[in-house]
Amino acid sequence: MSAAPSRFAALPREMRTTLVLALPLIFGHVSTGLIGFVDAVLAGRHSANTLASVAVGASIWSIAIIVLIGILLALPPSVSQLDGAGRRDEIAPLFRQGVWLALGLSLLLFAFLSLAGLAFGPMGIAPEIQGGARDFLHGIRWGVPALALYFCMRYLSEGVHWTLPTMVLGLAGLAVLVPLGYALMFGAFGLPELGAAGLGYATAIMLWLQAAAFALYLSRSRRFADLRLFARFDPPRWAPIRGLLALGLPIGVTVFMEGSLFIATALLIGRMGELQVAAHQIAINVATLTFMAALGLAEATTVRVGHAVGMRRPDAVRNAALAGYAIVLLAQATAALCIALGNEAIAAIYTHDAAVITLASTLLLFAAAFQLSDGVQVVSGAALRGLKDTRAPMYLAGFAYWGVGMPLGATLGLGLGWGAPGMWVGLIAGLSFAALLLTLRFWRTARRLDARMLAQVDAAG
């Protein structure tokens, strides 16, 4: 039998394996995205000003999330390659150094969120929005250390192919946030009405509950007993932390450049007034929810590719990537269709303001337009992480997002006066270029890896 038929015969099996691995991640990520949905809906019911304030505050908060995700994403490929190579005894020491890295990052990000409000004036954020956005940040910043520890534990679990805790804890966190966010925002059950600040404090409390629950699970679960994750205390050691940073910093920069494209878009739209900000927040929140499904598939692809590399199976590397592409294209096409057909109904869920609904409905059509390119670029980046190829993708993504996307969006949105729709055209262009460049990079890198592995097998024979 030729290699090509054999490869495609194995593809359905790989798709099933990837989907089983990805489904809990998808539910977990969607539940995380629904946190933003809950915040936006509660804020929109409170007032258009509160919704705009939370939109700006959430844009700054997302910087902390992006930094943590980006750098700590060094853990899944590292853990999965150790697992695939049968070196499970090395996983716990790596995890403990990852915890130290997570705590160090959280201290820096806490300081950043504490001071970020000082920049609202120089950034030109509308004065009526600044106070609420600052209050939101001052509440949510207390959850940064919990989020850092949660990501560290989650990526350890995902690296050994166990993704169910991500789903369970994500849904549980959402169940806590809904009543707690409502109570602190509107002043229910005898609590003070805190507005935007209430959402920040509620989210921080939820994050600490999630982190505590995950730590308890890892310490009690038989699935992780052989790893002995908490068997001893390890002081921070620079060599493994440096190794994680060497892999994670380029990932972090890449993720940050994509995330900062959206953040900068939100902040520039923040200069356009309350209506544009509120409409943008609705559209970007919906796009974030659909992206969470793609992100879950991408993380599963990283683990599958990394595991195949650990087993020294180039055919399995290709199949893992192909499975990721196939599933994400189906998922994102479905999402695009749903958004395009239901744009007005979706916008009406968030607010009763007719003007906001009208503009948000238009922006949702732009969100539908970039679903496919967004899915392809995130899976390509994830497959490259599975190969531990992170530096070149960083430069390619930077060019796509900031060499193409932002200049075009700023020119159309601000220079030519298109407003928020012009900024969204820039988002579509940036994501499309990233999808093209990262996909080409993955297949080129995979071919080189294939040749190296075959040469090593021949030499060993």
Q: Tell me the per-residue pLDDT of 138-162, one tens digit each, with 9 for 90 and over.
A: 999 999 999 999 999 998 988 887 8
According to the model, what pLDDT value does residue 9 have?
64
| pLDDT tens profile 153-188 | 998 988 887 878 888 898 898 889 889 988 888 887
Q: What is the mean pLDDT of residues 439-460?
A: 70
The pTM score is 0.72
Half-sphere exposure of 451 (CA within 13 A, CB side): 5
- Rg of the Cα atoms in the chain: 22
Structure tokens at 369: 């337009």
Cβ(255)–Cβ(73) below 8 Å: yes
Q: What is the mean pLDDT of residues 337-366?
A: 87
Residue 193 confidence (pLDDT) above 90? no
Predicted pLDDT at 451: 63
Q: Is the pLDDT of residue 396 over 50?
A: yes
In the predicted model, is pLDDT for residue 413 greater than 80?
yes
Does the structure show a pLDDT above 70 at 457? no
pLDDT-derived band of residue 452, with 50, 70 and 90 as boundaries?
A: low
CA atoms within 13 A on the CB side of 307: 20
Q: What is the pLDDT of residue 207?
A: 94
Residues 62-78 pLDDT 10s: 778 878 887 888 888 78
What share of the chain in percent tops pLDDT 90? 24
Find the range with the poorest average confidence among 117-126, 326-335, 384-393.
117-126
Does pLDDT of 38 surpass 80?
no
Computed from CA positions of residues 198, 204, 205, 210, in that sequence, does the dihedral angle turn out positive or negative? positive
Quick one: pLDDT band at residue 453, thresholds 50, 70, 90? low
Burial tier of 131 (Cβ tally within 10 Å: 0-12, 13-18, 19+): middle
Measure the CA–CA gap between 368 and 339, rounded to whole angstroms. 6
User: Distances in Å between the alpha carbon of 459 and those of 126, 453, 454, 455, 456?
Assistant: 66, 10, 9, 6, 5
**Which amino acid is it at 281?**
Q
* 456: CB partners within 8 A, 6+ apart: 312
Indicate the pLDDT class of residue 338, thresholds 50, 70 and 90: very high
pLDDT in tens, 198-207: 889 999 999 9
Which pLDDT score is estimated for 380?
A: 94
Indicate the angle between helix axes 238-269 and 274-310, nearest 10 degrees: 150
Mean pLDDT of 27-34: 74
Q: Is the dihedral of CA 41, 43, 44, 45 positive or negative?
A: positive
Return mean pLDDT, the chain. 84
Q: What is the pLDDT of residues 266-316, one digit of tens each?
A: 778 877 777 888 888 788 888 887 887 888 888 888 888 888 887 777 778
> String of b and e for 245-260 (b: at least 16 CB within 10 Å)?
eebbbbbbbbbbbbbb
- Average pLDDT estimate for 196-216: 92
**Most confident stretch, 57-61, 71-75, 328-332:** 328-332
As a residue count, the chain comes to 461
Alpha-carbon dihedral 347, 353, 354, 360, rounded to 10 degrees: -30
At 209, is the pLDDT very low, low, confident or very high (cuts 50, 70, 90)? very high
3-state secondary structure the chain: CCHHHHHHHHHHHHHHHHHHHHHHHHHHHHHHHHHHHHHHHHHHHHCHHHHHHHHHHHHHHHHHHHHHHHHHCCHHHHHHHHHHCCCHHHHHHHHHHHHHHHHHHHHHHHHHHHHHHHHHHHHCCCHHHHHHHHHHHHHHHHHHHHHHHHHHHHHHHHHCCCCHHHHHHHHHHHHHHHHHHHHHHHCCCCCCCCCHHHHHHHHHHHHHHHHHHHHHHHHHCHHHHHHCCCCCCCCCCHHHHHHHHHHHHHHHHHHHHHHHHHHHHHHHHHHHCHHHHHHHHHHHHHHHHHHHHHHHHHHHHHHHHHHHHHCCCHHHHHHHHHHHHHHHHHHHHHHHHHHHHCHHHHHHHHCCCHHHHHHHHHHHHHHHHCHHHHHHHHHHHHHHHHCCCCHHHHHHHHHHHHHHHHHHHHHHHHHCCCCHHHHHHHHHHHHHHHHHHHHHHHHHHHHHHHHHHHHHHHHHC
Could you identify the residue written with the tokens 């050691």? 237
Q: Provide the residue ranges of all domains of the chain, joining segments of one domain with +.
A: 3-455
pLDDT band for 343, please (50, 70, 90 cuts): confident
Q: In the numeric block, which tokens belong to residue 95?
A: 């995890």
Query: Rounded distance, CA 134 to CA 62, Å?
Result: 14
What was the pLDDT predicted at 4? 47
Q: What is the pLDDT of residue 354?
A: 85
The residue-averaged pLDDT of 367-393 equals: 89
